[in-house]
Structure 1
Amino acid sequence: MKNNIKAFRVKHHYTQDDLAEKLEVSRQTIISLEKERYNPSITLAFKISRLFNCSIEDVFIYEEE
Structure 2
Amino acid sequence: MELKLVGLLVSFIMTLLLFCTAYAEAIKMSNTDGKVDGSTLIFSLPLAVLFSFFTCLFQK
Same fold flag (TM > 0.5): no
Between Structure 1 and Structure 2, the one with more helix by share is: 2
Higher Cα Rg, which structure: 2
- TM-score normalised per structure 1: 0.27
Structure number with greater CO (CA < 8 Å, separation at least 6) is 2
Between Structure 1 and Structure 2, the one with more strand by share is: 1
